[in-house]
Every structure is written in C-alpha cells, then in structure tokens.
Amino acid sequence: MFGWNSGGMMHLLQSQILLRVLAILVAVAILATGDPAPAAERVTIATPSRGLFEFPVVVAMRKGFYRDEGIEVDKIQMQPAIGVKALMSGDVDYLLAWGSALRAAVSGVPIKAVVGFAGRPLHVLIARPEIKSPKDLKGKIIGVDSVAGTVDYLSRVAVRHFGFEPEKDVKIIVTGESPTRLAALRAGAIDATPIDVAFAVKAEDEGFKRLVYLGDLIELPLSGIAVMEQKLLTQRDQVRRVVRAGVRGLRFMKQNRNETVQMLSDYLRITPSQSARAYDASINSFTDDGIISDKGVLLDVQLTKERLKLTKEIPLSQLVDWSLVREIK
C-alpha cells in the first residue's frame, strides 16, 4: 500500500509541475504576441552646474519618480546662456537655470517657469579665518561671479545688512564661479564670497568663517524648471508629468531628512556631517508646493529690469505659469 501511494504522489507532483511550466510558457507566448509595453518618453533637462539648487530633480531621478510618470530623464550640464539657446532651439526640453530663464522671459523670449524649487537663496557669505565678525569686513574684498549677477546682488544685500555700503566700505570684484572663488579665498586674493551652502560647509571645515546665510535675509528665487511656451501648449501632459515628479522630489526632500542627507552626501561628494549641515541650513529655502511667491518673482523681475535697463511693466503671466503645480496638488 505504501509503495502504491508513494508512486501516485510522485506522479501527481510531476503533473502539477508540468502544468505550471505550461502556464508559464503560455503567459510568455501571450506577452510575446501582444502589444509591447510603451517605451518611456525621453526628455532632456539642462542644469548650469551640480548643486543643491537642482536637488529635487536629482531626488526624483534617484527615487524613480520620473519613471513612475513614464519618463526617462537625461540631465546634462551647460552654461546658463547656452541652456537658454538650447531650450529655444529644442535641443533640450527643460531648463533648471532660473535666473537666465527669467531674464530671457523678461526680454520677450516665450519661456515660462512651471515649477519653483528654491524660493530663497542657498548661499552663505563665507570669509577668511581672520575675519572674526562682520565688522571686520570693512575695507576688505568680496569676490563674485559676474557684474550685476545674483551673487553680486547677494553680496550687496549682506554688506548693507552689516551696516556697510558696497564700493565705499568694501570692494567687490569678479573672480569667477564658486570653485574659483574658493581658491581665491584660500590664496588670500579675496577676503569673503557668497557661495552655495554645500561648498560653504566644506570651507568651514577648512577653518573659514560663516558670516550669514543669505536665505535668512531675502526672498529671492534661485531655482525651478522653465519650458518654452510652445511646449507647454502642445505637450502639456508631458510637462505636467515632469512637474509632478519634480514636486514629489521636492516633498521627499522636505519629509525625509536622513535619506536626503545620504543622497546629498553621495551626489555632491561631501561627508555625511557636511551634508547634514547643508541640509539643515538650507531646507527652509525650498518651497513647500513648487510655487514661488509673487513677492519673490517681482523682486527678481526688478533686478532683471535694472540689469537690462528696461522700464516697461512686465506681467507675471509672461514669466511664470503655476497652473500645472496647482492641478497636481
């Protein structure tokens, strides 16, 4: 009796295995003859540099939020002015250079910001070790990246905050981008400079002095995504999905400190301690909902008009379109 039952059970198990194999083969055949899964849409996002300002997009890429929207992102680095031209020509789809995009829009180029990430500066005024307090800045040299640029403006905001007058009490000179300015600071060619907070925490570990976080002083937008108006009209669904993924990245940053700090450390090649300090100093500069306040945009417009020597009024509707952000709330 035992031998008969054992043989029967063996036959039954073999039959079940065969049926499972056949089911798998049938499923594979159905998939092979059916419609293939739709390919993800490829889009290109241009960014002026690697930094904290672009981190909502980095988070969205690393966490798969764009893939969830059926989008594959190629993020490429290019100078802001070149990025604007590439956006206009269609060589890139989206642009992370907020200031350059806004200046182009103010001058009449049909570009609009569709989501805002950092509504306040992410810069720290950092100084040489011998500058013990802001009053020691009198008669010293501050380095900026360009004449009448955002960093130049932030330098003047900081100087006035400390009770000094630019040009009269301090000298402001052009010394280049953040790494170049840091090198000039180390060499003693300049005494202070506003730099991205991620660079600033590294400089502090070298002994340099943090004087003020500019995001605490002024509401001046720093980052967001801009598109051509034509794309917004003709590919609105794609733009909506890109915006939604970016907002998810933004919210993840604000709600998940530990994982964000680790990603930031890895992405910017800074220590976990430096990453944590950069996060804690800057997180309140990021918007909660992807919308930059009218006050912030208008201040940026005012500065842009001064740089371009324009006098005509510029309606906000020419520059920003928050309708997609509002749709996805």
Q: Rounded to the nearest 5 degrees, what angle is found at the Cα of 104, between the Cα atoms of 65 and 91?
A: 50
Residue 271: helix, strand or coil by DSSP?
coil
Cα–Cα distance, 19 to 41 (Å, whole number): 39
Strand order in the sheet with 209-213: 171-174, 141-144, 192-196, 123-127, 209-213
Averaged pLDDT, 32-56? 80
| pTM across the whole model | 0.82
Reported as a single tens digit per residue, the pLDDT across 194-229 is 999 988 999 999 999 999 999 999 999 999 999 999
**The pLDDT value given to residue 27:** 47
Q: Are 115 and 223 in contact (CB under 8 A)?
A: no
- Chain centroid to CA 293: 17
Reported as a single tens digit per residue, the pLDDT across 60-87 is 999 999 999 999 999 999 988 899 999 9
Cα–Cα distance, 213 to 124 (Å, whole number): 4
Between residues 59 and 49, the one the model is more confident about? 59
Cα–Cα distance, 40 to 320 (Å, whole number): 27
Averaged pLDDT, 242-267? 97
Among 123, 46, 58, 48, CA closest to 263? 58
